[in-house]
Structure 1
C-alpha cells in the first residue's frame, strides 16, 4: 500500500494510475495525528495536502531553512519525504501537494523582476516533490487568491460563503492593472520552463480554475474562467503531465455545460483529480452549499466521471460549517464523504465496475 522511495530517490510502490475512482480528504496543511486518524475512521485511504501558505504554527509544513520563507523559497526533499511518511504511518496515501504559497511564484505570474530566480526555486520544489514519491502537484494562476465577499446561512443554519460581483470595488490588489495578454505570456513562460522538469520528475501538474471565474478582479485578469481558456491552457504546451485539478464548484459557478466539459477533458485523460462541491447560482452571484444540493446532480456527475474513464481521487471541497464543527469543517466533510461514497457504491452496483 505504501509509496516508498529507493536510495537513489526514485519512487516505487503504489501505482496511483491503477487505483479506482475513490473518495479521499484534503484541504489541510498540517497532517496532525488527529486529522489523519479522522480520515482513516471515515474509511478514507487517500489524502492530499493543501499548502497554500506558509505558517510557522504548523510543525509539519515543508520548508528549506537555507532560504527565507517570506519571498523566494523552495521546499526541501527531506521535508517532503517526512510529510509523505507521516501520512503513510496512518495507513494513508499522499496523492498530491496542492498549491505552494503565492509568494513562491507571484513574480512569475505577474512577469516581474526576479521571476527567473523564483522559477529556479519552483523547479527545485517540483523535482523534490517527484523524488519524494508524491505523484501530483496542484496549482492555480490567481495572484490574489480565492475571493469571497458574502457570508450566508444554508440548510439548517449552516454557515457558508458566497460571492457578489456588485460588492467588488475598483481597488487594485497589486501595483497596477494587468492585461490578459500579459497574464497569458507569463503563463506560457511558466509552462515552457516547468513542464519539462515535471515530466522528468514524474510529477503531474494539475490546473485549478480561477475562483470566482470572472473576467478580472483587482486589476488582475482571471484567465481560467471558462471552457475555451482551459482548452487553450491544455494546448499551449502539450504534455501528458499537464491536466486539470477539476473543481466542480468552480465549473458550476461558470455556468458551463458540465457534461460537455467533463466529456471533453475526461475522454482526453486530462482530469487528474477532482474537487467535488457545488454552489447555488452562477457568476456574477453565487453561494456555496452542501454537495447534495446545488446547480447540478451529484449522482449524474459521478456517473459521467465513471463513464469517461476517470479513475482518480475525489475530495470534498469548501463544505458548509455545521453545528459543532472545527475550522477544518471536519463534520461537514464527513457528510460529504459519506454522501459521495454512497453514490459511488450505487454506481458500481449498476455498472459492475
Structure 2
C-alpha cells in the first residue's frame, strides 16, 4: 500500500472545501463528527458527498467517545460510553467507512500559549515547566497500571466489535507524548507504549495513527 496524502475537513464540508482539498493534491480526507452526526444516514451522506468530489473519506472519529474520560478513567457511565462506541463502529461500517481514530487523552491535547513564528503564523508551543504546574484534571493522581488496566478493559469490549464490523481502530499518540499530565499518565508516549497496547489488543483491528510530530517528540 502506497502512502496517500490526506487532509482534515469539517464534518459539514461544502463543495468549496472539498474542491480545495483536491486542489491541494489530497486523495483522502478525514474528520471528527459531532454527536448528532454519528448515525448511519448522516455518515452515509457525508461519505457519498466526499465520493462525489473524487476523494476518499478514510477516517471518521467522534471526540465524545474517542477521548472519553469515563472510558479511560473507569468513571461512572463507562459501560454506556463503550456501548456507544460499539454502535458507532457498526454505523461506520454500514456507511462504508472503515477507520476511526481514538486517543487515550482524557483531557485532550495540552499546549502552552500559541506564539507567532518568524513569519507571523501562529504555532503551538509546549512549555513543560508550565504544564507541570497545572492542577489535577480529575481530582487525584492516577497510577500508570490503573490506566493500562482501563485500556485492557476497553480492548476486551471493543476489539470483537471492530473485528466483526471491519472498522479498524487508529490509536493516536498522546500530544504531547510525555509520561504524565494533570495527574493522569499519558498512556501512548513511546515505541514501547505502542508495543504494550498492541500486545493487549492481540488483534490487527488495533492500529497506529502515525502522527509524525508526536512520534518524533516521543520516540
Superposition TM-score, scaled by structure 1 size: 0.58
Q: Does 1:63 align with 2:27?
A: no
- Partners of 2:67 and 2:108 within 8 A in 1: no
2:53 aligned partner: 90
**Aligned runs of 1:139-288 on 2, under 5 Å?**
139-168=102-131, 169-254=133-218, 256=219
- Partners of 2:66 and 2:102 within 8 A in 1: no
- Partners of 1:104 and 1:122 within 8 A in 2: no
State the SS of the aligned residue for 2:126: strand
Q: Does 1:113 align with 2:76?
A: yes
Once the 2 structures are TM-superposed, how far is the Cα of residue 138 of structure 1 from its aligned partner? 1.0
- Partners of 1:105 and 1:119 within 8 A in 2: no
2:98 aligned partner: 135
Once the 2 structures are TM-superposed, how far is the Cα of residue 102 of structure 1 from its aligned partner? 4.9
Determine which structure has the larger helix proportion and give its number.
2
The answer for unaligned runs of 5 or more in structure 1 is 1-18, 55-61, 65-74, 257-353
Q: Give per-residue Cα distances to partners, 1:21-45, cap 9 Å, x unaligned.
A: 2212115333222211101122322
Once the 2 structures are TM-superposed, how far is the Cα of residue 89 of structure 1 from its aligned partner? 2.0
1:101 aligned partner: 64
The answer for unaligned runs of 5 or more in structure 2 is none
User: Which stretches of structure 1, 4 residues or more, deviate above 4 A after TM superposition?
Assistant: none
Count of aligned positions = 218
Separation of aligned partners in 2, 1:187 and 1:227: 17
1:38 aligned partner: 20
- Structure 2 vs 1, CA of residues 165 and 104 (structure 1 numbering), >3 Å: closer, same or farther? closer
1:15 aligned partner: none
User: Which protein is bigger by CA-based radius of gyration?
Assistant: 1
State the SS of the aligned residue for 2:124: strand
Name the Cα RMSD after superposition. Answer: 1.8
* 2:41 corresponds to which of 78, 97, 103: 78
State the SS of the aligned residue for 2:114: strand
Separation of aligned partners in 1, 2:90 and 2:70: 20
Once the 2 structures are TM-superposed, how far is the Cα of residue 86 of structure 1 from its aligned partner? 1.7
State the SS of the aligned residue for 2:119: helix
- Partners of 1:105 and 1:122 within 8 A in 2: no
Separation of aligned partners in 1, 2:140 and 2:127: 23
Separation of aligned partners in 2, 1:94 and 1:219: 36
Separation of aligned partners in 1, 2:111 and 2:14: 28
